[in-house]
Chains A and B, each alone.
Chain A
Amino acid sequence: MHKTIAVLGLAAALALGVSSVALAAGEKVSVITPYLAATATGEMIEAFKAKAAEYQWTVDVVDTAGDMGAFASRVEDATTSGANAIVLVSVDPAQIQDQVDKAKAASIPVVTIDGAKNAATALNVTSDNYVLGETMTKFLFEQLGGKGNIVRFFHSAHPGVHQREIALDDALKANAEIKQVGEHYVQVPGQIDDSRSAMDALLLANPGDGAINAVWAAWDEPGIGANLAIEAAGRKGIIIAGIDGNPQAIELIKGCTAYVGTVRQGFGEMANIAADQLNAILAGGPPEKDELFAPVELITRDSLGVTCN
């Protein structure tokens, strides 16, 4: 009997709890991502929420922690619950085409940030990921003097990251004296720890001076993990470059560590553009274009005014 009472009590408490959730006035916007644990994704969502507050929207944020099945389900939930708009962050909507099509059929505009263009979505706001990869790779290869050995940290499941990898592949073809001597597919979430462990192994596998000259990180968090491994091993002569302009990576650049450069994506800018465009869409108008790019910026010791001995 006690068991029954306790279970019923728990259910009743939950029922009362959910009943008391008050829906604020204004448009209801569902923001859904499988990658909230990634700093950049979190930054975009926070920026979007801040902008949404200006527009007096009610924003629900859902994270499915890398679970694409749950991601599809939550998009369905948002459609069913009658959200005024759905914002998908850091994901290609083609991966859940059926759910996006249903949202469109329900006349719910879907906007992607850091995603990809799709016939069923109203707008994608992103950086040109190939340009990001190209900019970082060019800088890294210049730092190496056009010659050396690199290791690659990548995650091809993310469509934007994959574009950066393509930029690296193209650059390697054009620079025969730069060799890739190792690579690691980064696990998400847990990307920093995973990358540190992988770099530990790569350093052990390539112990000689000059065996590894640089780390190419498809985004900053793997680079941060690699930096931890390099510092722990006390290895010199290895440089790291990444992408995203992660604040921790910028601190590492300022601190004269192995981290020498990152390309800042305008994450806040992307979110602001998306919110402004969504505001126009909710007012009944079309977006400016179906895909808009936020500006990118190369951040190095030079650009930060840092001198290292």
Chain B
Amino acid sequence: MTRTNLNRFGTLIAFVLLCVGFSIAAPQAFASPANVFNLVQQMATLAIVATAATLVMTISEFDLSVGFSASLAAVICFVLFGQGYDVWLAVPAALLAGLAGGAANGVLVARFGIPSFVATLALGTILSGFAFGLSGGQSLFQSVPDTFKALARGEVLGIPVLGFWIVGVLGVAAFVLTQTEFGRRLKAIGGNAQAARLAGLPIMRDVIVTFAIAGGLSALAGLLLAARLGSVQHTMGEPLLLPAYAAVFIGTTASPTGAPTVAGTLLGVAITGVMVNGMTIVGVEPFVQKIMTGGIILVAVLLRRVGRAK
């Protein structure tokens, strides 16, 4: 293996070593089919939110509202269930809310020039207020149809349903980014927005569409999380934000250019998911888990910077 390949695949090899380490430490539990099944389920919502973050980072922006969008979509859906509406109305309504919130982020950034860090944080906070108000601050878990729960539970051909969501969503996102003109435009905007503008690319439209897609994906992740748990809390999506960006950053270490990619993000999600799952199974103390998880993210990003500086 050449030095270039070693550099490129180092993160992947590290992931494999993690799996080997946990398999040695807990051979009956970690490496069992049941745990692989669990891991896929546990990673799905994070993978989808991280994909939303990847799209936005491709245009060199940040979306800090992803967790809030996820929460709001889930709350809207469950409130509608509580009022007697069925899945076919509640789910589209929740997804539309996510798309609308994301589009509003895009308008604030592209039309009004507000830095995405500020715009998405502000709008996300507004969304969290709506989620709080709609839920009354209570945990909602009544009147949830089985058809909704089925979106994130069970298996098909031995593969967890959530695994199909990962493949579907990330597959489409990867295809769009690598194989379509829209994807190439996003990379151009992320690489040099000024040059893209001078080249006549529809920057404002593309930025708004990208944020809208990110909002829609976040809403989808919130719905799948709610379907998996069977309950909703108005803050349930917020813990997804930091791990999502951590996964994207880890993923960039596997990218030859250091740019975010869907495949790299999936690797980042897998590394964070395996670490938490594995350490829980082998009984690592909670404080050690946090130190090691934060440590590996930091090391990965630092190494990326060192690598790019060379």
Contacts and interface: CB of A to CB of B under 8 A. Distances in A.
B13 A97 contact: no
Interface residues of A, number: 54
B228 interface: yes
Contacts, number: 168
A97 B230 contact: yes
Dominant SS among interface residues on chain A? helix
B120 to A, nearest CB: 20
A21 B141 contact: no
A194 interface: no
A99 B149 CA distance: 13
Interface string A5-22: 011101110111111010
A82 interface: yes
A10 B6 CA distance: 15
A182 interface: no
Interface residues of B, number: 66
Interface string B112-156: 000000000000000000001000111101000000010001000
Given A72-B229, A73-B42, A77-B277, A11 B139 contact: no
Interface string B237-258: 0011000000000000100000
A156 interface: yes
A68 B236 contact: yes
Dominant SS among interface residues on chain B? helix
A95 interface: yes
B22 interface: yes
Q: Which of B18, B233, B279, B280 has the most CB of A within 10 A?
A: B280
A5 to B, nearest CB: 8
B141 A97 contact: yes
Interface stretch (B28-36, B81-89, B97-105): B28-36
Interface stretch (A49-57, A59-67, A262-270, A292-300): A59-67
A27 interface: no
A40 B41 CA distance: 32
Given A8-B10, A77-B277, A157-B138, A96 B229 contact: yes
A275 to B, nearest CB: 19
Contacts of B3: 1
Contacts of A278: none
Interface of A: 1-4, 6-8, 10-12, 14-19, 21, 23, 36, 58, 60-70, 72-74, 76-78, 80-82, 92, 94-99, 154-157, 159, 162, 185
25 contacts: A1-B7, A4-B10, A7-B10, A7-B300, A8-B17, A14-B296, A15-B18, A15-B21, A18-B279, A19-B21, A19-B25, A23-B283, A60-B280, A65-B239, A69-B228, A72-B228, A78-B280, A80-B29, A80-B34, A82-B29, A96-B230, A97-B230, A98-B228, A154-B137, A159-B139
